[in-house]
Homo-oligomer: A and B are copies of this chain.
Amino acid sequence: MSKKILIVGGVAAGPKAACRLKRLQPSWDITVVDQDSLISYGGCGIPYYVSGDVADESALRSTSFHMVRDEAFFADAKGVKVLTRTKALAIDRKAKKLKVENLENNAQYELDYDKLLLTTGSKPFVLPIPGADLDGVFTVSDLHKAIEIKKRIAQGQVSKAVVIGGGAIGLEMAEALTDLWGIETALVEFMPQLLPRIVDAEFAVMLKKHLQEKNVAVYTSEGASEIVGNSEGKVIAVKTPQRTLEADLVIMAAGVRPRSELAKEAGLVVEPWGGITVNSRMQTSDPNIYAAGDCIATRHLVTGKQTFAPLGSLANREGRVAADNMAGGFSRFDGAVGSFIMKAFERCIAATGISYETALAEGFDAEYSLTAPADRAHFFPNTAAVILQMVFDRRSRRVLGVQAFGAMNDSISARIDTAAVLISKGAVIEDFSMAEMAYAPPFSSAIDSLNAAAFVADNLCAGLLRKVNMTRFLAWMEDFSKEPDWLALDIRHPKDAAVMVDKFGAHKWLAVPYAEIRQRHEEIPADKTLIILCDAGTRSYEVQVFLDHLGKRNSLVLSGGFNVIRRIGPDWLG
């Protein structure tokens, strides 16, 4: 028997569900309503459209075979009816009717449904500061805004821009403006670091340094307090408590919120922060109403908590699961581990699971291994170091998260995706030690970086390795009086170590090359806390084990070593 399916929202989860449903139930009547005129687009591609990497906005709403996904396409090719410029106003759950308004003529009418799917997406958070409504202030929330931003740039109206918000979209927009258009761009982030809650501080600092190298002015711990306009109502500057930044374009990328008013007003269960509550079959608290995409709450597979995970990739999979269940099948979406990846100029930064900081806040007995392996066999041409951090719980040995920062290629994808599926399954350190990573020198090392990170985690758990965190070490380097009994033991090549000895004096910086430690260990004092330093941390660990064996258990290894220090770039490094 044919059924009537209504879907509210036509960007990602909605169209995916509509098409899947039509294939599962070709005789059903499937209608998508969306208040916008443009639908079914890759919102994550907007920064690349603005940059010019993607020449035309229609590419973002085209299929891989170059057909534009408009109303006609859905009707002709998919058998799905799409009503654009049609706003959903209210759900009458008893009568199973959706009240809508045609935004062209303001006519209001009702549509019947047997099953309803809410894919209402997210909306940008607009900071409640003066000037947020000035001409030239844009959120990156839909294609229309993206088109307008690009038009202004192409017309030469933009020479200075300020991006408010150091999340993924803000960062991608800052790159788009700077790299391809040469716009003088500043980015302000209210929190003390970029990508807050996604990566740990060290990773954010490495990213910040790279952005600065690429001429993006980055101000963290510095929120926009006011947007200033001229007499014509056009933006001219952004004020923070510390400074005024000139701007003829402001991108407000202060995050997004679930768009769930329709659900809430209909009396569906909604999380306190706005995400629509669904079960693993994507059903809301009304069994005839499903929800998917940015508007829902997603179970985090590490913390078990309901979280906000607005990602096109999840939206598509949730849409498919909703469709399967609406069609009468059985399909589950159990949650997500929050995988994240981003290009930033010549770097890639990625994370999956939770950060060390989050792990501590969640009450885990958290620890992390920080390594700096090569992204392929070290003897292969053009290798680059990857900074890789594995966060784990000491008690359960469960791996909670992985973060990586390295050169812009796909090698980090390989490690993050592998880590993500393992973390999703509740994997422990041993599962990572034994993860079978395909090996050939152009792609990987015989001991893959993910295996190596797990080996270090294992050594930490076993108490074989004792480390000092980078933050604490950097604080000491700023002020030796903070830890007066510390001494750096630099086991790198003598010429590298000598630079540091010259700078800080032998009483703070002792140089003994790695391969000479076994012969010269008597030179190493037993009455000070040794901070063992090398390029990646691996050799330091070996030296620590050897010194321990001699009874000199007074050392700590600086995990990540100079490979991390160089990427953080403290002033003392010169």
Q: Looking at the complex, which one of B320, B410, B431 makes contact with A410 (CB distance below 8 Å)?
A: B410
Closest to A462 in B: B329
A438–B417 touching, CB < 8 Å: yes
A379–B77 touching, CB < 8 Å: no
**A77 surroundings in chain B (CB, below 8 A):** 514-515, 517-518, 542
Known: A76-B519, A444-B313, A446-B313. A438 touches B413 (CB 8 A): yes
Which residues of A from 311 to 344 have beta carbons under 8 Å from B? 311-317, 320, 331-334, 336-337, 339-343
Which residues of A from 398 to 437 have beta carbons under 8 Å from B? 408-411, 413-418, 420-422, 424-425, 430-431, 433-437
A549 within 8 A of B: yes
A154 within 8 A of B: no
B350–A438 touching, CB < 8 Å: yes
Q: Looking at the complex, which one of B339, B418, B545 makes contact with A439 (CB distance below 8 Å)?
A: B339
**A536 surroundings in chain B (CB, below 8 A):** 64
Which residues of A from 375 to 408 have beta carbons under 8 Å from B? 377-381, 408
**A435 surroundings in chain B (CB, below 8 A):** 417, 420-421, 424
B44–A332 touching, CB < 8 Å: no
Q: Looking at the complex, which one of B54, B78, B416, B438 makes contact with A352 (CB distance below 8 Å)?
A: B438
Which residues of A from 425 to 469 have beta carbons under 8 Å from B? 425, 430-431, 433-444, 446-448, 451, 455, 464
B64–A378 touching, CB < 8 Å: yes
Cβ distance A369 to chain B, nearest Cβ, rounded Å: 15
A535 within 8 A of B: yes
A482 within 8 A of B: no
A549–B515 touching, CB < 8 Å: no
Cβ distance A427 to chain B, nearest Cβ, rounded Å: 8
Q: A44-B446, A332-B430, A333-B434 are known contacts; what are 6 more A-B pairs with Cβ within 8 Å?
A: A26-B548, A44-B441, A48-B442, A59-B379, A317-B434, A420-B436
Measured CA separation A140–B212 after assembly (Å): 48
**A339 surroundings in chain B (CB, below 8 A):** 436-439
A420–B441 touching, CB < 8 Å: no
Cβ distance A55 to chain B, nearest Cβ, rounded Å: 9
A455–B42 touching, CB < 8 Å: no
Which residues of A from 248 to 303 have beta carbons under 8 Å from B? none
Using a CB–CB cutoff of 8 Å, the interface residues on chain A facing chain B are 12, 16, 19, 23-24, 26-27, 42, 44-45, 48, 53-54, 59-60, 62-65, 67, 73, 76-79, 168, 311-317, 320, 331-334, 336-337, 339-343, 348, 350, 352, 373-374, 377-381, 408-411, 413-418, 420-422, 424-425, 430-431, 433-444, 446-448, 451, 455, 464, 492-493, 514-519, 534-536, 539, 542, 545-546, 548-549
Measured CA separation A27–B548 after assembly (Å): 11
Q: Looking at the complex, which one of B76, B317, B416 makes contact with A451 (CB distance below 8 Å)?
A: B317
Cβ distance A252 to chain B, nearest Cβ, rounded Å: 21
Measured CA separation A45–B317 after assembly (Å): 40
**A420 surroundings in chain B (CB, below 8 A):** 418, 435-438
A23–B542 touching, CB < 8 Å: yes
Cβ distance A150 to chain B, nearest Cβ, rounded Å: 15
A437–B417 touching, CB < 8 Å: yes
Cβ distance A12 to chain B, nearest Cβ, rounded Å: 7
Q: Looking at the complex, which one of B59, B334, B340, B535 makes contact with A434 (CB distance below 8 Å)?
A: B334
**A374 surroundings in chain B (CB, below 8 A):** 64
Known: A42-B377, A313-B448, A380-B53. A341 touches B64 (CB 8 A): no
Closest to A26 in B: B549
B514–A381 touching, CB < 8 Å: no
A421–B418 touching, CB < 8 Å: yes
